[in-house]
A and B are shown apart, each in its own frame.
Chain A
Amino acid sequence: MTKAARSSWLSATTLRNTTKMKTTSFLLLLAASSALAQSLNLDNAPLLDAPGPGYRENPHFTVRSAIPSASQSRPALSMLQATTIADREMQSRGFAEDYMLRTVTFVRAPRIGDSVYVAIISPLGSTHDGMHREFRIDMRGGVLFHEEDTNQR
């Protein structure tokens, strides 16, 4: 949020006069955590969809072991960020038309350098039929830097 936008938002609240908070960040943090918690209430539903009709069954779609919890000192990215990165990377590699990115990882806070597993379900007969790939994400450069093709056709 820009300074001007924040200032504008502040003016619409009583924040400045009634609390010791200097920014709106805490409120936004609370709102975000609440939204996220509601979203994660869906945790019982598998993030990884089973292949539906028209898609090849692939046992390797099972997401593997959880990423070990990382040290607090390492920067991290959210699963949503990881998903977005992986999605864009896949599209940049020419998967735009015939793949369905199903999930990235079950781990809620993948850290830089952790493995992030991307499951792909491609329609039968398509170029990337039944492919499964896994990515390792490194956000130091803001991009995904390493890819292991574990094609399990």
Chain B
Amino acid sequence: MNEPPIDPKQLATLLGISAQDAAKLVQSAETEMEKRSAEVLARDPNAGRISDSERAALQAQAEATGVPLQQLLEQIVRGRAFAADVLAELGCSGMTISPEDVAACFDGEPPKGWDDMIPKHLLDDKGRT
């Protein structure tokens, strides 16, 4: 749960940049995530809501990992709020990410291996370059 949202090493390889530059980019993305999620939740406190069952699952996770429940809850809520906002802004098709979604981020073809950076279950059926 506490892993960085983007692996700097993978990003460096994908974009052909130094590890140091990639780390800076990841840090910037994390900062943007914090900022955006706060903005979204300020607009809509219900964004990223968690069901009672999910809360129970998080409770079990908290007990298993020792991470405070409140921290886990906030992390999920912020993440959902941020993701919903970004995906909607980018025009992504729902909660999956397609090659077209990624291609729209670039002027030309997205770099080979982009799909290795996106969790497999979020890639849509055609989610391979």
Contacts and interface: CB of A to CB of B under 8 A. Distances in A.
B83 A39 contact: yes
Given A1-B89, A28-B29, A78-B87, A34 B5 contact: yes
A13 interface: yes
Contacts of A69: 125
Of B54, B58, B110, most A-chain CB atoms within 10 Å: B54
Contact of A21 (B49, B79, B101, B105): B105
B94 A32 contact: no
Contact of A31 (B15, B17, B29, B89): B29
Contacts of B87: 29, 32, 36, 78
B103 to A, nearest CB: 10
Nearest to A22: B107
Contacts of A20: 15, 106-107
Contact of B47 (A21, A25, A84): A84
A102 B106 contact: no
A87 B46 contact: yes
Interface residues of A, number: 57
Nearest to A108: B95
B101 A29 contact: yes
B121 interface: yes
Contacts of A48: 51, 53
Q: By DSSP majority rule, is chain B's interface helix, strand, loop, or mixed?
A: helix
Interface string B17-32: 1100100110011111
Given A9-B28, A33-B97, A25 B117 contact: no
A30 interface: yes
B83 A46 contact: no
B90 A109 contact: no
Contacts of B31: 12
Nearest to A109: B94
A31 B6 contact: yes
Q: Lowest 4 CB-CB distances: which A-B pairs, in order? A: A109-B94, A35-B79, A45-B57, A37-B119
Interface of B: 1, 5-6, 11, 15-18, 21, 24-25, 28-33, 44, 46-54, 56-58, 75-76, 78-80, 82-84, 86-90, 92-98, 101-102, 104-107, 110, 114, 117-119, 121-122, 124-126
